[in-house]
Every structure is written in C-alpha cells, then in structure tokens.
Amino acid sequence: MQLHVFNTREEMGNAAGKAVEERILTVLEKKDYLRMVFAAAPSQNEFLKYLRNSKLIPWEKVVAFHMDEYLGLLPEDQALFSNFLKRNLFDHCNFKDVFIIEGNKNTEDEIARYTRLINESPIDIVCLGIGENGHIAFNDPPVADFNDPNTIKIVELDLACRQQQVNDACFPSIEEVPTHALSLTIPALLETDYLCCVVPGPNKKQALESTLTGPIDTSCPASILKLHWQCDLFTDRAAYPENLPWKETKYDLLQDIENGSFQLNNDKGRFTPVRFYPPDQIKEKIPFFGPGLIDLQVNGVNGVDFNDASLSISDIEKSVEYLLTIGVTGFLPTLITNEKGIILKILDTITQACEINPLVDSCILGVHLEGPFISNLDGARGAHNPKFIQEPSWELLQEFQKAAKGRIKLLTLAPELEGAIDLIKKCKESGIQIAIGHSYATYPKIKEAVEAGARLSTHLGNAVPLTLPRHPNILWDQLAMEGLYASLVADGFHLDDSFLKTVIKVKCEKSFLISDSTLFTGMPPGEYKAHIGDEVVLEENGRLSLKHGKGLLAGASKNLREGVEYLVKSGITDLSSAWKMATSYPVKFLALNDSNQTLKEDWVIFNFEEGKIKVMRVIKNGQVVFSSD
C-alpha cells in the first residue's frame, strides 16, 4: 500500500482522481475497454467530482459497477447507493455500460446475476473507501472473510456501520437505516490490478489508524489492503492520526506449496487464508510456505555422527540447529548395526537430550534402528559391520527400547532371518513400525512380512546386490507389494532417475524421500575415517563411498532439502509433489498427525530460485526458530 496524505479533502480528491485517470488511460493503451467498481458514500464526493469533470477519460470505454446496496428500499429512494452514484457520476458521463445492484429484486436471483456479471472478465480498477468500523464495502467486522468463497452476499449491518449512515446524513435516524444489504466480498474487491482507496474526515481517524498499524485480521477488514500489490490510499490531515504509532509487525503474502492457495503470515507464524489471486508477474515473486521437512533416516549431519559412542548432548543440539536451518523440523536419528553397548549408550544420550531440551524433543520424532537384524551377505549388508549383525531378538530390542524410553519408532530388518516374522508381529503390537531393508528376501517372505505388519521398504533400490535376476527379484517384489511404502534417496548417486520415476509412479503417495545423511553432510570433499571401520571418500560432487569397497556407497552427504531440489531439477516431479514427498507422505507413514499435534504448527517459508530452495524462515511449534534475516 502507498499512503498519500493531503492538507484538505479537495487536494486529496483531486490527487486520487488524477491517479485513477492516469490508470484508466494506461489500461486502455492495452485494452479496448476496462471494468471498474465504485464505492458510494459522501467520503468519495471530491474524488467523484474530479472524475466526472475529467476531459481525458474516455468513459465510452468504461464498464461501471458498484459494490454494495441496501435491501428493502424502493428504487426511487435517494439513499440507495446506485442513486448516489447516478447523481454524482453515472448520469454525468457516457459510460459503455453501468450495472447496478438491484436490492428490491429477488435476492437469490440478484446475487446470481451480479456474480455472473462481475466474473465475466477481470475487474481492472476498484475505487473504495473505509468505513468508521474499518469495513470495505459492507464487509463489517462480524461478517468479513478474507477467504470468502462468494462474489456477492447478503450481510447484516452492524450498529457502527448503521450509525455511520446517520453521521453521513444519509438517514435522519438509525431506526431508518436498513439492517441488511448486498455487498461484494473482500476477495471480489481485491481481485483487481489496482485499488484506489479514499478516506477523509475526522470520523475515519480510528479506522485509518487500525488499518495502517493494527494486525491484519477481520477485526478491521480494511487492514487487508496493506498486502495488495498495487493499492493507493488517499487521506487528509483530518483523518490522518497524529503521532501515528507505527509498529514493527511483519506480514507476508505466501503461496501454499501443496495446493497453490494464498495465505497471510504474521511474525508470530500464524496463517490466514485469502482467496484473492495476484497477477502472474506478482505471483512469481511471492514466497512459498509448506509443512516442515520430515526426515526418517538421519545417520548424522554437519560433523555429528549419531553412531559414534562419543555422541554428546551438545552434538545432538548442534545437529538439530543445523537441520532447522535447512527446513527439517522433524527427524529420526538413525542408528545402524553396531556393538550392543554402543547402541545402548547412544540411545541413552538421545533420551537425555530430549529430556533436557524441549526443542530437541520436539524435533526428534523417534529413533530409527537400521539393524542389527539384517542380512550378513555381501550386497545386502551394505556398509554395516558384519561383526555386529545379529539374529532377530525381541529381548534385545526391548533392551534398546528401555534405554530409549519408548522412542524407537522404526526398525529396519531382513524378514528372511529366523525369528523375524515373530518379531514383526510383536513390534506391530507395541507401536514400532517395521521396514524391510538390507535383505535377500524372496516374494513369499516379503508377503509374509507385510501380512505380519511390515509397512516400508527402506531406501528401496539400495543395499541390494549389484546384479540381480531379471525377474523375480527383491526390487520388483517390493514394488508389487501394495502394502509397502518406499523411502528413496534422491541425491543423484543412490538411484538412477529412471528407477526413481518408476517407484514414484507405482507407489504414488506411498513413496517418500529420506536423506540417509551422514556426519559428512555439509563437510568439504576429502577422505575421512568413519566409525564403520573403513575410510570413506567424499567427492566434489557429493558422492560418498567406501574407499576400499569397490565404489560401494557409504550413505549420503546431501540433505533432505537437496533431495527435493534434485527431483525438480531432474524433471522427475514438480516442486509441490517433491515437497509432499518430504513432508506429508512420511508423516502419514508414521501416523504422526495423530500422535504429534505440534507438527501442525511447523512451517517453512522459502523462495525457489534457479532450482534452489532458499529457506527464509522456519517456524517450530508456532515460534520462529530460524530466519535468514
């Protein structure tokens, strides 16, 4: 909104009239005619006078509408807004067409007729005012709706609105002011390329102050004007508040990455839906917002290794802080096959960190045990140390769960191992999700595992032999199993694009992204020693592999946000679909919406420029926890 303050009402009206005059001429350089909506009120007198006296405006190229009308008055009643506009403008100028709201006709028919007329093509200019109660048109605070699905509707006028009509000398007493009217809705008014708002007089001082400095909400409907992409507000000194108490409150118009709708966001992380749609050239510059990223497989990140016995509480806090900066608001620390005592120690450390730090506790959604109940065979074993691989044991898992104080939420195992099916059944009963991974299982065993309660294929396409039978094989068998979700590492190294496309097409909303990140995520290229007992090589392009493992991957060095970027860059999905694969789909798999209400207050606000997601703000539990500012 651009604010223009003048010493007198006449100066204000002339300036507003000239601005609209120039806008009309500019629009008509590109169009044969334009469509305008006018407000009807004494506050518009000086502005309308300028327009009707203009020698430059070709009114024969203008189609006119007005924005509200009383119900129940006779057509000849001079208080009707249509008659006000006829006296002050319509009867003075040769318009191409004038469409008035007829409040004495059948209301449903009139709403249908005027809705059809307004929606025939875009409105180019809206000329409006602000009521003493902050209304625009007759959208008083009790009935105002920034997300109103209607174009025009019946409204009941509140007491302040009716009193204004008496103050404006339109009626001799409040008893004679109609109680109901037809009004264009807020979205109908704001879906225009240009707004000219004229607000004079001392009676408008409080409404103007609320509009300019108050929160953007329906307690002052005109406050929404601050976010319009091209709104000029003209006022005079009598209406302009002295010592205006400007407040440092930030509001954004944002686009929902999941459905394309628009919402308002204030600096407290609250969102308000709005239905008006900005022009395409403006829309491209509006930041996105979406749920926080959810990563169900994080082995480590930014120098922190969740599989190192020396893991400390401060390490976990450091990892949480880093993940929040990239938009990950929830994750599962992932512990791979290791010595029993080390796993117990790490689980105890994670538990302590969650109990001490509420932010850590809200970000760690549980623990993912990837092993030790996996195949010991080459290819399926991957980078897991064979020395610590074990047969499935409910007793051992219970020992781990006790150390985690119930935080183990996901277990990856090989279902072909003896005792695996019984373990799956017990896990299902205790609320632990089961994933198939690092396995040589055949289709009958996979089917048996799914029937017992397995619901996920861990990093499908990886931790399998380099060569497989044409068919059947463990990849096709898992793809064919409808009950299985599939987690995917989309970093350009773990999987070919064709395989990613195939899995996503087959699994649809049952496919989601994981990072499988390691402590090397975010670190410079080079050779490093890892806890798995081998050296790893981090290449310039981000590929992470075992130095002596014949090119075998040793996890990933890219984060979940980069996985989203890769899907878009490769043309595998669009940005909206990729974001869902890193947010709502993994949440649905773990049924987190039912057990973790705070996720509903986790948001990421970001720009998408040149194929890169640039995180602007991260909101966790309704609080801003990261800002690029």
Catalytic residue positions? 516
Q: Report the sign of the C-alpha dihedral through residues 161, 211, 25, 32, in that order.
A: negative
| Dist CA 337 CA 299 (whole Å) | 11
Is 493:408 a contact under the CB 8 Å cutoff?
no
Q: Could you tell me whether strands 123-128 and 192-199 are parallel, antiparallel, or unpaired per DSSP bridges?
A: parallel
CB-neighbour burial class of residue 533 (10 A; exposed 0-12, middle 13-18, buried 19+):
exposed
**Cα 528 from chain centroid?**
38
Element spanning 586, H or E: helix 584-590
Q: Strand 2-6: give its sheet, edge to edge.
A: 2-6, 231-236, 192-199, 123-128, 34-38, 62-66, 97-99
Instruction: Give yes or no for a contact between 40 and 81, defined as CB atoms under 8 angstroms apart.
Output: yes
In degrees and rounded to multiples of 5, residue 198 shows phi and psi of: -115, 120
Place of tokens 């102050």: 209
**Separation between Cα atoms, residue 33 and residue 25, nearest integer Å:** 10
**Which pairs with CB-CB distance under 8 Å and at least 24 residues apart come from 109-115?**
110/182, 111/150, 111/152, 111/153, 111/154, 111/182, 114/151, 114/152, 114/182, 115/150, 115/151, 115/152
Distance between CA atoms of residues 277 and 486, nearest Å: 36
Taking a C-beta distance cutoff of 8 angstroms, is the pair 328, 546 a contact?
no
* 54 secondary structure, DSSP code: -
